[in-house]
Amino acid sequence: MITKLPNVTTSIFAVMSKMAAEYNALNLSQGFPNFKSDPLLIELVNKAMKDGFNQYAPMPGDLGLREVISEKTNLLHKKVYHPDTEITVTAGATQAIFTAIAAIINKGDEAIIFTPAYDCYAPSIELFGGKTIPIQLKAPFYQVNWQEVEHKITPNTKLIIINSPHNPSGSIFSEEDMLQLQELVVKNNLLVISDEVYEHIIFDNLTHFSAARFPELSYRSFIIASFGKTFHNTGWKMGYCLASENLMNEFKKVHQFNVFSVNSPMQKALAEYLKTPENYLNLPHFYQAKRDVFLELIKNSRFKIIPSKGTYFQMLDFSEISQESDIQFTERLTKENKIAMIPTSVFNTHKEDFKQIRVCFAKTDETLKEAATILNAI
């Protein structure tokens, strides 16, 4: 059989998690919390099940949830998305990204992505006959050179995918970044997928500049969000997409045949939970405390560190420890030091190796202390 994705192999997350299990290593590789969700949210899901919300939800999502998402977006970004026509609840953010790409990419279309990039972008583009145009962000700050972006735009360019806060680097797009992006997409009649799954995990009183804040950009953008990332329950696979009505119409055409609708009781629970804004407004403080505890614990290690500005990931520079490749280094640490992390070169354009590895700090303090003991001894 001829494969449609000949270059796709097993995800590095699956590889490192399998290795962690084989060598009984502390797993800081895969990006999920190891602490519990809010008991209130669990209770709300149970209540929705007991109240009989166990059948199909409406195709675009529970109306109550879409309404509160609209209210949340307006509260945070002063932008109103209409619950009926501009919001769709999805089976996680990855499904939303895939659906948006499927809705707009045709054979021969080019899509610009910034590497290191989440590993679902390029395969999804290529699956629909598109061509990925990667632009490499440089360590240690991973900032965009917008002149380089402009030079990469051709008559075939249709889409730019951005991710802020950025996984794996923990960098964020500034207001000036977003304004330059807006100028480019308007000038060249482009579309945008804005992957904002870590929107509520941002530190040091910095601002998340959502694509929703910029009128001409928001009109051309699919904005992707994740309840799993936000509320520590990645296994629920719950997310949503915001887009102007014309774009959302195309999104729904694919969505209805992709998943049609997603988990009913969880939608009912989230609709109720989001009515209390503190449930998401307090998250930056919660995760910054995790980051700060972790960085304080490893401040005397031999790793070079620039504190993460967002996400629940921290990059560690090991260039003063070893000249191994980041893949060799992480494999050795997993086998010998019993700690698993992610080599970041696998997400780069030409597998550039900046001697940086990614650590997930969305863990209990006990786990972070255990990790720090290992890292300090390396």
Position 30 scores a pLDDT of 84
Q: Which residues contact 370 (CB under 8 A, 6 or more apart)?
A: 26
DSSP structure class, residue 334: I
Reported pTM: 0.97
Q: Do residues 123 and 157 touch, judged by C-beta distance below 8 A? A: no
Q: Which residues contact 377 (CB under 8 A, 6 or more apart)?
A: 337
Specify which residues 357 forms β-bridges with. 316, 343
Q: Which residues contact 44 (CB under 8 A, 6 or more apart)?
A: 268, 269, 270, 272, 273
Cα 96 from Cα 93, distance rounded (Å) = 5
Helix (H) or strand (E) holding 221: strand 221-226
Largest CA distance in the chain: 59
Cα angle vertex 141, ends 140, 142, to 5°? 100
| Predicted confidence (pLDDT) per residue in 131-168, tens digit | 999 999 999 999 999 999 999 999 999 999 999 999 99
Strands laid side by side in the 221-226 sheet: 87-90, 239-242, 221-226, 191-195, 157-163, 110-115, 131-136
Cα 135 from Cα 20, distance rounded (Å) = 31
Does residue 10 have a pLDDT over 90? no
| Predicted confidence (pLDDT) per residue in 44-101, tens digit | 999 999 999 999 999 999 999 999 999 999 999 999 999 999 999 999 999 999 999 9
Confidence of residue 110 (pLDDT cuts 50, 70, 90): very high
| Predicted confidence (pLDDT) per residue in 337-372, tens digit | 999 999 999 999 999 999 999 999 999 999 999 999
Domain 12-30+282-376 falls under CATH 3.90.1150.10:
yes
247, amino acid identity: L
Please give the CATH topology (third level) of the domain spanning 39-279. Aspartate Aminotransferase; domain 2 (3.40.640)
Q: How far is CA 63 from CA 89, 138, 221, 264, 265, in A?
A: 10, 42, 22, 11, 13
Give the residue from 248, 258, 295, 242 showing the smallest Cα distance to 81. Answer: 242
Q: How far is CA 167 from CA 18, 114, 159, 163, 326, in A?
A: 21, 11, 19, 7, 17
DSSP structure class, residue 37: P
CB neighbourhood size of 254 (10 A): 16
Helix (H) or strand (E) holding 134: strand 131-136
| Predicted confidence (pLDDT) per residue in 284-336, tens digit | 999 999 999 999 999 999 999 999 999 999 999 999 999 999 999 999 999 99
Cα 208 from Cα 164, distance rounded (Å) = 8
Q: How far is CA 288 from CA 18, 137, 250, in A?
A: 29, 24, 38
58-82: b or e for each residue (b if 16 or more CB lie within 10 Å)?
Answer: eebbbebbbbbbbbbbeebbebebe
What are the residue ranges spanned by the domains of the chain? 12-30+282-376, 39-279
Q: What is the mean pLDDT of residues 225-245?
A: 96
Helix, strand and coil in the chain, % to nearest 5: 45, 15, 40
- % of the chain with per-residue pLDDT over 70: 100
SS3 label, residue 355: coil
Tokens at 59, concatenated: 């195709």
Tokens at 214, concatenated: 């910029």
Strands laid side by side in the 356-360 sheet: 313-317, 356-360, 342-343
Q: How far is CA 295 from CA 175, 276, 290, 343, in A?
A: 27, 31, 9, 19
Place of tokens 């030091």: 337
